């Protein structure tokens, strides 16, 4: 069997650049050299695309950028190329043919349909959700609206645009009367707990709105939910299958970005501390939410289970973290799919969706 040429995209210009580098190292290690030829394509924080031929060990800390062998490259939107254009030393473009792309990019300009649109233009199969599902899941206000329409239970919520946020007193009155305090305030488009605050009063509300607006032009407000935070890993192009949920035991007041990726002090419990019936209920709702938002390939579905047993969806991440402490790969391994097999399955799902047969 011929090797597949895989382009591994990592880094990016979002606030989750550093996490992407770590996740991509996980993929690089999981892709068997006997099956895949991997082109590592790093996107710097200022948006430069570079082909990186060096070892994966230099990706997590960012030192890959210091490699003198890095060369500028782009994904060609010309389907005749079907791959990467690498600027050679002579200045002429060299085409590197690509069979499938793994866009290990978290957050804006990576997980929101932008890169997916480029790959659709190029006609290159890629791992993960398509353009629409990626964009929908990235925008919490749009995703919440569709989940409500599909009858997937979630907490009470509302949203506001930047224009309405100009009158903070009026906005605070509307939101607090609807949801009551405390209120979670989130940018609609950011990802991975970036820009999220918990407001306990009017002063905290105004500060939280400013924090959220620093990340996006839309702000989502959610009723505080007291209960367990659980997550499911979903895999497939439809019908997809979810794992049983695992539980997040956060070390901070709520599961923040630093708790996820920087502190390393949160703990996980697989399966979650729920009854067998409740585990099955969360699993079924994860599959329903995944289908309602048009997801394909993979996604992580996050839930709250209130103290009275009510299950509420929180959000869906279309390119979840693949770090050593990330829940998605842990859940898949617990379900009998360790990383090398999971990477194989994701590549096959990408090819399947594109109608490409291999092997």
Same domain, 109 and 172: no
pLDDT band at 93 (very low <50, low <70, confident <90, very high): confident
pLDDT band at 122 (very low <50, low <70, confident <90, very high): very high
Which pLDDT does position 9 carry in this prediction? 98
Domain termination residue (choose one: 173, 203, 223): 223
Residue 298 lies in a domain: yes
Same domain, 243 and 339: yes
Which pLDDT does position 347 carry in this prediction? 98
> Cα(195)–Cα(108) distance, rounded to whole angstroms?
13
pLDDT band at 334 (very low <50, low <70, confident <90, very high): very high
CATH of the domain at 68: 3.40.50.20
Same domain, 144 and 267: yes
Same domain, 71 and 181: no
Same domain, 112 and 186: no
Which pLDDT does position 28 carry in this prediction? 97
The pair of three-digit structure tokens given for residue 274, joined into one six-digit string: 């729920």
Same domain, 140 and 264: yes
Same domain, 189 and 269: no
The segment with the largest mean pLDDT, out of 87-96, 188-197, 348-357, is: 348-357
Residue 169 lies in a domain: yes
pLDDT in tens, 166-177: 999 999 999 999
> Cα(72)–Cα(252) distance, rounded to whole angstroms?
41
Residue 15 lies in a domain: yes
Which pLDDT does position 21 carry in this prediction? 98
Summarize the confidence of residues 235-254 as an average pLDDT: 86
pTM of the predicted protein model: 0.92
Which pLDDT does position 267 carry in this prediction? 85
Which pLDDT does position 260 carry in this prediction? 54
Residue 38 lies in a domain: yes
| Chain-centre distance for alpha carbon 268 | 19
Same domain, 323 and 251: yes
Summarize the confidence of residues 145-174 as an average pLDDT: 97
pLDDT band at 244 (very low <50, low <70, confident <90, very high): very high
Ranking 3-7, 138-142, 316-320, 354-358 by mean pLDDT, the lowest is: 354-358
Check residue 164 and report its DSSP letter.
G
> Cα(334)–Cα(243) distance, rounded to whole angstroms?
9
Which pLDDT does position 256 carry in this prediction? 53
CATH of the domain at 169: 3.30.1490.20
Asked whether 73 and 87 are in contact (CB, 8 A), the reply is yes
Which pLDDT does position 202 carry in this prediction? 96
The total of structural domains in the chain comes to 3
Checking if the pLDDT of 257 tops 80, the result is no
pLDDT band at 80 (very low <50, low <70, confident <90, very high): very high
Same domain, 146 and 287: yes
Summarize the confidence of residues 213-219 as an average pLDDT: 95
Which pLDDT does position 359 carry in this prediction? 57
Residue 117 lies in a domain: yes
CATH of the domain at 313: 3.30.470.20
pLDDT band at 356 (very low <50, low <70, confident <90, very high): confident
- Ranges of beta strands (E only) in the chain are 4-11, 36-43, 49-52, 71-75, 83-87, 93-97, 100-103, 157-161, 183-187, 197-199, 218-223, 227-236, 241-242, 246-249, 267-269, 297-306, 311-317
Question: What is the full DSSP assignment across 170-206?
Answer: HHHHHHHHHH-SSEEEEESS--TTTT-EEE-SHHHHH
Which pLDDT does position 110 carry in this prediction? 94
Residue 131 lies in a domain: no
Which pLDDT does position 358 carry in this prediction? 67
Same domain, 116 and 257: no
Checking if the pLDDT of 232 tops 60, the result is yes
Same domain, 312 and 342: yes
Summarize the confidence of residues 49-62 as an average pLDDT: 97
Residue 359 lies in a domain: no
Q: Which residues contact 323 (CB under 8 A, 6 or more apart)?
A: 19, 22, 23, 26, 261
Domain termination residue (choose one: 176, 202, 223): 223
Of all residues in the chain, the percent with pLDDT exceeding 90 is 87
Domain termination residue (choose one: 223, 251, 272): 223
Which pLDDT does position 258 carry in this prediction? 52
Checking if the pLDDT of 210 tops 60, the result is yes
Which pLDDT does position 322 carry in this prediction? 96
Asked whether 230 and 303 are in contact (CB, 8 A), the reply is yes
Residue 358 lies in a domain: no
> Cα(228)–Cα(18) distance, rounded to whole angstroms?
28
- Provide the mean pLDDT of the chain: 93
Checking if the pLDDT of 88 tops 80, the result is no
Same domain, 282 and 307: yes
Domain range for residue 346?
136-153+225-353
């Amino acid at each position: 069997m011929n090797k597949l040429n895989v382009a591994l995209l990592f880094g990016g210009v979002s606030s989750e650049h550093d996490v992407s580098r770590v996740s991509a190292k996980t993929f690089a290690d999981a892709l068997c050299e006997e099956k895949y030829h991997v082109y590592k394509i790093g996107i710097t924080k200022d948006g430069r695309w570079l082909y990186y031929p060096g070892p994966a060990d230099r990706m997590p800390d960012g030192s890959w950028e210091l490699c003198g062998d890095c060369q500028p490259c782009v994904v060609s939107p010309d389907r005749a190329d079907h791959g990467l254009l690498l600027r050679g030393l002579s200045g002429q473009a060299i085409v590197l043919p690509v069979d499938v792309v793994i866009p290990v990019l978290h957050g804006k300009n990576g997980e929101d349909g932008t890169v997916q649109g480029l790959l659709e233009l190029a006609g290159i199969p890629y791992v993960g959700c398509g353009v629409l599902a990626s964009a929908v899941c990235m925008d919490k206000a749009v995703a919440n609206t569709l989940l409500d329409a599909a009858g997937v239970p979630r907490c009470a919520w509302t949203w506001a645009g930047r224009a309405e946020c100009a009158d903070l007193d009026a906005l605070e009155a509307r939101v607090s009367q609807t949801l009551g305090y405390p209120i979670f305030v989130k940018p609609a488009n950011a990802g991975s707990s970036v820009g999220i605050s918990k407001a306990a009063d009017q002063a905290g509300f105004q500060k939280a709105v400013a924090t959220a607006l620093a990340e996006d032009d839309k702000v989502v407000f959610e009723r505080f939910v007291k209960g367990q935070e659980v997550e499911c890993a979903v895999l497939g192009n439809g019908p997809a299958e979810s794992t049983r949920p695992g539980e997040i035991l956060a070390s901070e007041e709520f599961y923040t970005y630093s708790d996820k990726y920087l502190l390393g002090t949160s703990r996980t419990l697989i399966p979650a501390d729920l009854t067998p019936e409740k585990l099955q209920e969360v699993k079924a709702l994860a599959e329903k939410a995944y289908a309602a938002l048009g997801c394909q390939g993979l996604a992580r579905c996050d839930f709250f289970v209130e103290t009275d047993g009510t299950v509420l969806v929180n959000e869906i991440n279309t390119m979840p973290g693949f770090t050593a402490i990330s829940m998605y790969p842990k859940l898949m391994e617990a379900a009998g799919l360790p990383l090398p097999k999971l990477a194989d399955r994701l590549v096959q799902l990408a090819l399947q969706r594109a109608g490409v047969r291999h092997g």
